[in-house]
Amino acid sequence: MEKSCRENGTLLLALIAGLSINGSFAALFSSVVPFSVFPLIALVLAVYCLHQRYLARPMPDGMPKLAAACFLLGILGYSAIVRVEYPQIGSNFLPAIVCVALVFWIGVQLKKRDSVEQ
């Protein structure tokens, strides 16, 4: 049980890192999105926690691929949400479609990992 919660925590931290890196980029370089320091703080804390988890114990096989997918999901998810809020930036069709595909792929991979463990 502890191993599963630890892996889910790593995936959640990767998702938060993806959200906050895109939020930081938008806050710093986009004139449409108002500036906020909170994405920068969240990015630093998420990356620090991911680094500490990696130093404590290396990731099991297949986990880096899932963590990268969660990171990409965070980046594209934030992009889709910002484009809904500020439509003058552009369409959110492609990021939303890729997000849905990533969610299904992550779900299939997690189910596959659970069935192999049992």
Domain parsing of the chain, residue ranges = 2-117
The per-residue b/e assignment along 34-54, b for 16 or more CB within 10 angstroms, e otherwise, is eeeeebbebbeebbebbeebe
Whole-prediction pTM value? 0.89
Are 48 and 13 contacting, i.e. CB atoms less than 8 angstroms apart? no
Mean pLDDT by 10 residues, the chain (118 residues): 71 95 92 89 95 88 92 95 89 93 95 83
Per-residue pLDDT, 80:
93
Residue (of 73, 44, 58, 62) closest to 109 by Cα position? 62
